[in-house]
Structure 1
Amino acid sequence: MHGTAPAPALLAADRSADYFESYSVVGLLALVGLLFVAVAFGAGRLLRPVVPTPEKLLTYECGVDPVGEGWAHTQVRYYVYAFLYVIFAVDSIFLFPWATVFAAPGYGGATLVEMFVFLGFLAVGLLYAWKKGVLAWT
């Protein structure tokens, strides 16, 4: 034998040093990112002109002068449509990994059943929304 193997305690110490060294790199990167944001906001505050006028202090309403109360009623229907869109958009993202697993040998039947259960839940949710009249735009 040309050399002796290092003791297990030394190997563990080397591994833990490498482990914490990688975390120090992540911490340093996070610190640099925070510093960059702080410098950017500070520079913006120092360089921007500050000339307050009564027009600038008004509430901005998409180019229209604000008239009446600041409290407006909006229909919940808009939010429900947006919520339904987000639900179905996120759920459709799950179809892509399923398609790749479905193509793999040996997974066809199980993934097909799982996807029909998944699509069944989506269909039940859509039928529930339809029965409640959420999808009627009147």
Structure 2
Amino acid sequence: MFPVFRLVSNPDDLVFEKHMLFTSTKQFKDAITEYAVKGGWGVKFVENDKVRVRAKCQPPCKFTAYLAKLPREMSWQLKTLNMEHTCTRSFKNPRCSANFLAKKLMKKVRRQPDIKLRDIQEVVHEKYVVNISARKASRAREKA
């Protein structure tokens, strides 16, 4: 029996194992994005099609994760996993998009619709140790 991915509320509790099952590529991409932003790693999705997704960190880092569709099943399996990072933290993370931030800041923006962009930038920096532009903070606020 293979391990099944479980969503967790705390990104520090995310666990990936080789042969782990995912329900969709979206679930996998969301989990990798959360992991990459929290860790400060510049992970990118380099191969995407109907049967596979590959996530790699910036060269020369060794992190790699390869997800493939299981034949005749509705699930996806993590076939290759190397969790070793030889890179350093990036303060400009490609995975920290306006869409990602909008999901994470939705409650805060709903409670405080007139929140200043500078406040959003500070919250993101405190939570994820990532620097974002005022424009990205603005797009995240609009989407939230």
- TM-score over 0.5 (shorter chain): no
TM-score by length of 2: 0.19
Larger radius of gyration: 1
| Higher percent of residues as helix | 1
User: Which gives a bigger RCO, structure 1 or 2 (Cα 8 Å, sep 6+)?
Assistant: 2
TM-score by length of 1: 0.20
